[in-house]
Amino acid sequence: FSIFNLSFAMFLWIIVLTLINIKYAVVYLLSDFQCFFAFSQNGKVIAVTPWLSPIVWEGTFDPFLIDSIYRQQNITIATTVFALGKYTQFLKDFLESAEQNYFVGFRVHYYLFTDQPEQVPEVNLGEQRQLTVLKVPSSNRWQEITLRRMEKLEKLIESRLVNEADYVFSLDVDTKFYGQWGAESLGRLVGVIHPGYYQTPREQFPYERRPESQAYIPHAEGDYYYGGAVVGGLVKDVHEVAKTCREQLNIDAAKSIEAAWQEESHLNKYFLYNKPSKVLSPEYLWQDFKPHTNEVKIIRFSQVIKNYAAVRPNP
């Protein structure tokens, strides 16, 4: 009798655990795909890609639900930023606005690459937030700085992030956060639609069109034009992005080829054949000089207005 009761109790416990697992599985699926086939009320934005990955727009997700789900996982989000030369002037606004809006309540570790550690401003970081400064050589060509970012990201992942983080985002520093950016942006592989081309026909995308370049995309191909200022995802998937782009950049460099938009061109080539599992709308990469549109209800992250001639080391 006691053995029977014990077996029956174990059976009931297995049923309970199964139901709990099913419940959480459904919640995770809803959190990741709830924006499928959703449209904003006025802008009629498309919220799903042709390969059925969500495009994240305001109104297509519940931030409290998604954040609460991911907080239970006790995740760490690594965030890499490059500030070389006069670009250190953007660090204060970037970090202070990030502390107010970027993954608030999550464990975030900023990794800052700079040639001037002494210029890194003191910013009060919240609980579970930290900043690591990594010194790198300077360059007299902004193109070279851009081209080397994938290599630095690849090595950082291999040496540290593989053991220190769950997700990683690489973000441009000449930017500022204006709205909440949370767990709705997390996914296996994440890209952002460039704000300058989300209403542009594919034929007009500034892809690399020279066949001799590794970044080449034919006129008849392409999904979106992705901005190079934001790339993210699981550590292992971002490592594959960085590694592949670095290899392609090196092949081009050996042939004295520089893609139209450097690493951004190679990133677009990668995303063409390795589809992002989540695509962020231009809310997650706007430009301060652009007026608001009907589609963009909220600006979360935006490139600031600047005089390129004054901040870049060369034209």
Q: Residue 7 pLDDT more than 70?
A: no
Provide the CB-side half-sphere exposure for 293 (13 A, CA).
Answer: 18
Instruction: Give me the pLDDT at residue 145, please.
Output: 65
Alpha-carbon dihedral 157, 165, 234, 84, rounded to 10 degrees? -50
What is the 8-class DSSP label of residue 34?
Answer: T
Residue 239 or residue 312, greater confidence: 239
How many C-beta atoms surround the C-beta of residue 144 within 10 A? Answer: 17
178-231: pLDDT as tens digits? 999 999 999 999 999 999 998 888 999 999 999 999 999 999 999 999 999 999
High-pLDDT (> 90) share of the chain, %: 73
Residues with Cβ within 8 Å of 306's Cβ and at least 6 positions away in sequence, in order, are 90, 174
3-state secondary structure at position 143: helix
Alpha-carbon dihedral 52, 56, 59, 64, rounded to 10 degrees? 110
174 is in an annotated binding site: yes
Instruction: Give me the pLDDT at residue 24, please.
Output: 40
172 is in an annotated binding site: yes
311 is in an annotated binding site: no
264 is in an annotated binding site: yes
Q: Residue 6 pLDDT more than 70?
A: no
95-154: pLDDT as tens digits? 999 999 999 999 999 999 999 999 999 999 999 999 999 999 877 666 666 668 899 999
Q: Is 99 a catalytic residue?
A: no
Read off the pLDDT of each residue in 249-276 and give the average, rounded to a whole number: 95
Q: What six digits make up the tokens of 88?
A: 């250190």
Rounded to whole angstroms, the Cα distance separating 233 from 228 reads 14
Active-site residue, from 99, 264, 283, 295: 264
What is the 8-class DSSP label of residue 42?
Answer: T
How many C-beta atoms surround the C-beta of residue 312 within 10 A? Answer: 16
Q: What six digits make up the tokens of 249?
A: 């950049």
Tell me if 131 sits within 8 A of 125, measured CB to CB.
yes
